[in-house]
């Protein structure tokens, strides 16, 4: 089983600042990595797939990078609506999925 | 528009069974694999089942294998999750998700408690 580990658990950032979230896989997943955003009381929303491709309608301030076992999600200038929970997910062993435990981005 | 709507959640006693449904609309349901993902209160996401587009292939994690059964009716554009021998740790919001993660339902809450 591929284990996904996200860091940090909580990231405190001021509006307008840059945020970088990390996700590590226990073994190589190539670029079969997605990122999701979840706000309280809502379902997750796909942000990034194939490690770096933005999903439909996702603003350009969201970018993904990495391959193999190390991945980052960067939010270039945090807007108020970006304070939320973020999950990474691997689908190397498609159709089996594994999620990271999440990073909460909160207002500093 | 593209939509998934879950139903069937509620409060159930430990050891009992429950069936969730997910009605799909706005897309060709029969060509997509479909997943169930759950989220315990205040916790992260856990994948619990996937079914191939034609229903012939099904996979589960060890945490639910032998207790949960996923199925689908392509003529009715509906996905199901039959949950048996329910445990308190199965308490969660259950989401149906179209393969590749682009489309999620709003979720249905299952509470396992005596």
Instruction: Write out pLDDT tens, residues B9-33.
Output: 999 999 999 999 999 999 999 999 9
Q: What is the pLDDT of residue B100?
A: 87
Q: How far is CA B40 from the centre of its chain?
A: 14
A99 and B44 within 8 Å at the Cβ level: the answer is yes
**CB–CB contact A96 B59 (8 Å):** yes
**Exposed / middle / buried, residue A19 (Cβ in 10 Å: 0-12, 13-18, 19+):** buried
Which residue of chain A is at minimal alpha-carbon distance from B58?
A95
Mutation for testing the A interface, residue in B42, B45, B64 having most A CBs under 10 Å: B45
pLDDT in the model for residue A108: 87
Phi/psi of residue A48, nearest 5 degrees = -135, 140
How large is the greatest C-alpha to C-alpha distance in chain B, in angstroms? 40
Question: For B33-59, what is each residue's pLDDT tens digit?
Answer: 999 999 999 999 999 999 999 999 999
Residues of B in contact with A102 (CB under 8 A): 44-45
| Cis peptide bond upstream of A8, omega within 30 | yes
Q: Which of B8, B13, B20, B7 has the alpha carbon at shortest distance from B81?
A: B20
- DSSP assignment of A38-85: E-TTS--EEEEETTTEEPTT--TTEEEEEETTEEEEEESS--GGG-SE
Distances (CA, A) of A57 to A16, A64, B102: 20, 15, 11
Query: By C-alpha distance, which of A74, A84, A73, A102 is closest to A5?
Result: A102
Please classify residue A52 by burial: count the beta carbons closer than 10 Å to its beta carbon, then call 0-12 exposed, 13-18 middle and 19+ buried: middle
The mean per-residue pLDDT over the stretch B59-64 comes to 95
Sign of the dihedral through C-alpha B39, B40, B44, B48: negative
Q: If you count them, how many residues does chain A have?
A: 108
Confidence (pLDDT) at B47: 96
Average pLDDT, chain B: 97
Pairing of strands B34-39, B45-51: antiparallel
pLDDT at A94: 85
* pLDDT at A1 (0 to 100): 87
Across residues B81-105, what is the average pLDDT? 97
B-chain residue closest to A1, CA distance? B61
Regions of chain A short of the pLDDT cut 50: none
Answer yes or no: do A102 and B52 touch at CB < 8 A: no
The C-alpha atoms of residue A82 and residue A100 are separated, in whole angstroms, by 19
């Amino acid at each position: 089983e591929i284990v996904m580990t996200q860091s940090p658990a909580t990231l405190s950032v001021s509006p307008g600042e840059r945020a970088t979230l990390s996700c590590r896989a226990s073994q190589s997943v190539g670029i079969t990595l997605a990122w999701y955003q979840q706000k309280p009381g809502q379902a997750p929303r796909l942000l990034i797939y194939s490690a770096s491709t933005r999903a439909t309608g996702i603003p350009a301030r969201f970018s993904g990078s990495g391959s193999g076992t190390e991945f980052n999600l960067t939010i270039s200038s945090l807007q108020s609506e970006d304070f939320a929970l973020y999950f990474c997910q691997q689908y190397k062993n498609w159709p089996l999925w594994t999620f990271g435990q999440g990073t909460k981005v909160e207002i500093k | 528009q593209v939509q998934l709507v879950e139903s069937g959640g509620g409060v159930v006693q430990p050891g009992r069974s429950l069936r969730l449904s997910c009605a799909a609309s706005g897309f060709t349901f029969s060509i997509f694999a479909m997943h169930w993902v759950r989220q315990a209160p205040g916790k992260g996401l856990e994948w619990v089942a996937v079914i191939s587009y034609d229903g012939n292939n099904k996979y589960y994690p060890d945490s639910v294998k032998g207790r949960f059964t996923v199925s689908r009716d392509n003529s009715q554009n509906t996905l199901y999750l039959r949950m048996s021998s329910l445990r308190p740790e199965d308490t969660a919001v259950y989401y149906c998700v179209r393969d590749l993660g682009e489309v999620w339902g709003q979720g249905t809450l299952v509470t396992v408690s005596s």
